[in-house]
Structure 1
Amino acid sequence: MQIASLSFGRPLWVLLSGILFTHLGYYLILPLLTIILTNQKGISVSQVGLILGTGSVTYLIGSLLGGWLNDRIGQRRTLVLGLLLRAIGLLGYGFVSTLPLLFIVSTITGIGGGIYTPPAKSGIALYASGENKTTAFSFRGIAANIGVTAGPLLGAWLVSGSTLSLFIAASVIYFGMALSHQFLLPADIARADANQSAGFSIEILQDRPFLLFSLVTIVTWALYAQFTFSIPLRAAEIMPSPQKVALLWSITSVLIIFLQAPITRYTSRVWHPLTVLANGMLLMGIGLGSVMWSSQFFHLLISVTIFTFGEMLIMPTVDTVVSELAKPEAIGTYFGIASFVWGAGEALGNMGGGQIMTLSKNWNAPYLPWIVYAAVCVGTALAYYVLRSWPALAEPLSEAVKERTHPTRSPSVSWRKKEKLKRNE
């Protein structure tokens, strides 16, 4: 690994540690939350679905709010606010048992998580130098996967004592991260006033390259959602043992932890970002499509591994593209919209995946979902390839690739190039 890739500086390491520990804190609860709500608090499964769904919807709202607050009141204040709200929400799960209060707790947790995400990503873009930006976003994925892997293990150990200790531990982690961000990140500088912030929002709604990229990316996230929706259903059919199903996800997390950085470092220097995304979608399509032939653990492991390699191409690259397309003074708002797009794509994927899986059963066509997913992946890859030929989107990203390969002293080349191309359209 090149030394330059690790020359991030304290603010960036603080943000990356926040990504790791917030994922650890959330995932030490998430796998057990449904069980706790149903078995210990007497909530029905359908009501639990509504409670968790409320958190997902409010996360989307929080994402837009967090992006706006980042550009309005500052990055550090927004990060701390999001962390504190989620800490309060997770702690609340341990003390409330009635349905109305659980809806309130889920709302607070969702909004807090949504508020936190845009400034965390925009901070990575801000504090990473041009040649390190994609590498920094790949480290974000590594940190998240360490948290996702370690969280359930810690949760399983804590829950053996008392479930209340589970929620207290998660809340303490978030409160600790709020304190570390408050004291270790640079102070917020003066931000735009309300009228300027509103102007930024209008400009983004007129930013055709970013909006079209976001539209295609919604489909990308809808397909990515099948990793946690359709694939587990197929895995449960093949492998009745929950331990083997869980092992699949542990293996993919380990792959990301060890391979994400070198893969990202290589692909970001030899391929245009839109080419990286297109190739990632093709790999995801092969992974999803090949599930139709899986009949045992080893077959499914191959499919999931191919899918994971596609994920490793896509995840950091999407964040890098957003950071390159964003106007510097509105970067939080851009990432807020990007977070909303991710949530909307996930919701679309879950709803669409459910409908497709139901149709496959009704029509006795077990191959149908995987053929559809593979076909849509190929179509999305083609869309990225087509966008690669659109100068208004492709050329600013090409400038970013040149900046990483041959760093200059101008951090705003990509945005100025984009403005020039838009004026000439």
Structure 2
Amino acid sequence: MPVLGLPRTVWWLVLARAINRLGAFSMAFLTVLVTAGFGADTVTAGLISAAFGLATIPSRLLGGVLADRFGRRRTIVAGLTGCALAQAGIAMSGSVAMVAVFAVLLGLAFEIYEPPSQAMVADAVRPERRAQAFSLFNTALAVGGMGAGLIAAGLGRWDLRWLFVVDAVTCLACAVVIRLVLPADSPARRAADLPVDRPADRPAQRLVRRVFAPFRAEVAGAEARAVWRDRSLLVLLASGTFFALIYMQVMMALPLALTRRGLEAADAGLLSTLSAVVMVLCQPLLRRTATTLSHHAAMACGYLLLAAGLAGYAVADGLPGHLAATVVWSVGDVLMFGRSYALVADIAPEHARGRYLSVFGTSWGIATVVAPLCSTQLLDRAGPVGLWSALACTCLLLAAAQLTLIRPLLDRSAAGTAPAARSPER
């Protein structure tokens, strides 16, 4: 029975995501564990963290392949179980080398559950409600993060290894919830998605063909196109990467920027909590605007609100100003996040949603690697005013691009695509 217009499957996924996020605080302390626990230098700790971030990019792509090939629920459970094992490995590591190995393994498993869970949301919800469902999915991440900070504050004072133990337990708990309450995967697979082995193929050739065959998306009639050749998806990936870069720079640079203004770095936690509260309170607003604003109009408005909030950071000199600016950009975040994933789900063939969402999701992996470099350079060279002003101007450019470039391209692509290539309206 639907709750607030959304199927129970979505709510179970939201709950599982919140549980998983509740424990996903340990990676923020990985560098501290490497330096304080093993006596390594900060350069080594940074390299290990960077290796983890790079490993999350193929992890998300693998999640999309497995989701479309073997099923959503199986892939989610496998990914979360892999995360739990890697987290436990970090907790039990006896050397920096072991920590590095398990950190890379964790990165390779870390994003596997994202594409199948997002594809399951898109499968369960009518197109006009996808933006609300994806926004709620993002809100669960923020709400879980609020509790995660409290847990980290308590356990981190005791022993940093316990942070990774608790994270492993929450991953397993999330996997159990998914396995018990979500519908089973359909045993049938599309023949078009299955690779065909040739008698002359060597074992290695067969393995390569089976790994990469799922990325061939079959569309209407005899036409076929690869996921990576879909211009609409690549344009959304480009804009999504810029948005992810902005978002990650805000998260990573905010504590440093606050100290430059004479405030406490810990005030960033207060701003993060306020953002999560705003996202929860804005859910009814998003539901009411779902039918009145198109995805492109809503995203343009979101970029404008984000620009206004970041401009507020640029001129704010005290905590009240930063609190007000946080409210503004958080409303913009609500409008954009759900709409962007809804656009990707709309352009994806039904049997390839996992792959489309996984490709789009690589924007966050790219941002995780690039954002620290950009934000620290901007902060050192231009100060807080220059940093926030540059990000605000980027948001304005993205708002203009959404209406003048992205919308016309997607409209032309939709007009020139046969109805059978898209998922059926439900």
* TM-score bracket for the superposition, by shorter chain length: 0.7 to 0.9
CA offsets per residue over residues 177-207 of structure 1, 9 Å max, x none? 2222223222222223136624229432232
Gaps of 5+ in 1: 398-411, 419-425
1:247 is matched with 270
315, 320, 323: which is aligned to 1:301?
323
CA distance in structure 1 between the aligned counterparts of 2:124 and 2:237, rounded to whole angstroms: 24
**Given the two structures, how large is their TM-score scaled by the length of structure 1?**
0.86
Q: Structure 2 vs 1, CA of residues 229 and 170 (structure 1 numbering), >3 Å: closer, same or farther? A: closer
TM-superposition CA deviations, 1:208-244 (whole Å, max 9, x none):
1221122122111111222112332211222443443
Structure with bigger helix share is 1
Aligned to 1:48: 45
Alignment correspondent of 1:262: 284
Is 2:68–2:352's contact at 8 Å kept on the other side of the alignment?
A: yes
Query: 2:214 corresponds to which letter in structure 1?
Result: S
Map 1:281-296 to 2 at 5 A. Answer: 281-296=303-318
Give yes or no for contact 1:274–1:394 (8 Å, CA) kept in 2.
no
Decide whether the 8 Å contact of 2:38 with 2:96 is kept in 1.
no
Identify the residue that residue 222 of structure 2 maps to in structure 1.
Answer: none
5 Å matches for 1:322-337?
A: 322-337=344-359
Give, as a single letter, the amino acid of the residue that structure 2 aligns with 1:200.
A
In structure 2, C-alpha distance between the alignment counterparts of 1:333 and 1:265, rounded to whole Å: 27
The equivalent of 2:210 in structure 1 is: none
| Aligned residue number for residue 378 of structure 1 | 396
Instruction: Give the 3 Å change call, closer, same or farther, for CA 292–12 of structure 1 in structure 2.
Output: closer
Q: Is the 8 A contact 1:87 1:172 kept in 2?
A: yes
Q: Provide the C-alpha distance between the structure 2 equivalents of 1:325 and 1:80, rounded to a whole number of angstroms.
A: 27
- Listed as ranges, the matches of 1:207-246 within 5 Å are 207-246=230-269
Contact 2:244-2:364 within 8 A present in 1 as well? yes
Amino acid in the other structure paired with 1:306: V
2:24 equivalent in structure 1 = 26
Kindly indicate whether the alpha-carbon contact (under 8 Å) linking 2:258 and 2:264 is maintained by their aligned counterparts in 1. no
Tell me, what secondary structure is at the counterpart of 1:187?
A: coil
RMSD across aligned positions (CA): 2.6
Are the aligned partners of 1:118 and 1:333 in contact in 2 as well (CA < 8 Å)? yes
Task: Verify: 1:345 aligned to 2:375, yes or no.
Answer: no
Q: 1:350, CA displacement in angstroms?
A: 3.0
Aligned residue in 1 for 2:422 = 415
* Alignment match, 1:407: none
**Structure 1 residue 272, shift from structure 2 partner:** 1.0
Letter in 1 for 2:288: Y
Consecutive unaligned residues in structure 2, runs of 5 or more: 197-212, 219-224
- Hey, what's the Cα distance between the residues in 2 that align with 1:388 and 1:37? 44
Q: How many pairs were matched up?
A: 396
Q: Taking structure 1 as reference, are residues 270 and 359 closer, same or farther at Cα in structure 2, changes over 3 Å only? A: same
Equivalent AA in structure 2 for residue 311 of structure 1 = D
Deviates more, 1:203-212 or 1:33-42: 33-42
Q: Secondary structure at the match of 1:43?
A: coil
| CA-to-aligned-CA distance 1:366-404 (integer Å, 9 cap, x gap) | 63323322221111110001136516437859xxxxxxx
2:308–2:328 CA contact under 8 A, matched in 1: yes
Identical aligned residues as a percent: 23
Q: Assess if the C-alpha contact under 8 Å between 1:4 and 1:132 holds in 2.
A: no
Relative to the length of structure 2, the TM-score reads 0.85
